[in-house]
Structure 1
Amino acid sequence: MKTVTPVADLPQKLGEAFRAIAAYLEEIGASPPEATYAAYFNMDMNNLEVEMGFLLSETLAGKDDIQAGEIPAGKQLSYIHRGPYSGLEEAYRAMGQWLQENNLTPTGVSYEFYYNSPMEVPESELVTKIVFPLV
Structure 2
Amino acid sequence: MTEYKMVTVEPAAYLYEERTCSMDPKCISEAMGSAFQSVASFIADKEITSAGNPLAVYVTFDPDKMPFRAGFVVSEEDARKAKGDVKCDVLPDGDVLNFVHRGPYAMLRDSYVAMMKHLEVKGMSVGMPSWEIYLNDPSTVASEADLETDVYVTVA
> Are 1:25 and 2:43 an aligned pair?
yes
Relative distance call for 1:5 and 1:59 in structure 2 (3 A) is: farther
Query: What is the aligned partner in structure 1 of residue 150 from structure 2?
Result: 129
Quick one: which of 23, 30, 40 aligns to 1:7? 23
**CA distance, structure 2, for counterparts of residue 72 and residue 132 of structure 1:** 11
Structure number with the higher strand fraction is 2
1:78-114 CA-partner distances (Å, limit 9, x unpaired): 1112222233233212211110011112214322211
Say which SS state the counterpart of residue 117 (structure 1) adopts: coil
Relative contact order higher in (CA < 8 Å, ≥ 6 apart): 2
Q: Which amino acid aligns with 1:25?
A: I
**CA distance, structure 1, for counterparts of residue 49 and residue 112 of structure 2:** 31
- Preserved CA contact (<8 Å) 1:33 1:56: yes
Offset, 1:118:
0.7
**CA distance, structure 1, for counterparts of residue 107 and residue 19 of structure 2:** 24
Say which SS state the counterpart of residue 68 (structure 1) adopts: strand
Quick one: which of 92, 108, 123 aligns to 1:72? 92
**CA distance, structure 2, for counterparts of residue 87 and residue 132 of structure 1:** 17
Say which SS state the counterpart of residue 32 (structure 2) adopts: helix
**CA distance, structure 2, for counterparts of residue 90 and residue 48 of structure 1:** 15
Give the 5 Å matches for 1:87-98: 87-98=107-118
> Are 1:43 and 2:62 an aligned pair?
yes
Say which SS state the counterpart of residue 91 (structure 2) adopts: coil
| Structure 1 unmatched ranges of 5 or more | none
RMSD over equivalenced CA pairs, Å: 1.8
Structure 1 length-normalised TM: 0.86
Query: What is the aligned partner in structure 2 of residue 112 from structure 1?
Result: 132
Identity of aligned residues (%): 25
Matched residue count: 134
Structure 2 length-normalised TM: 0.76
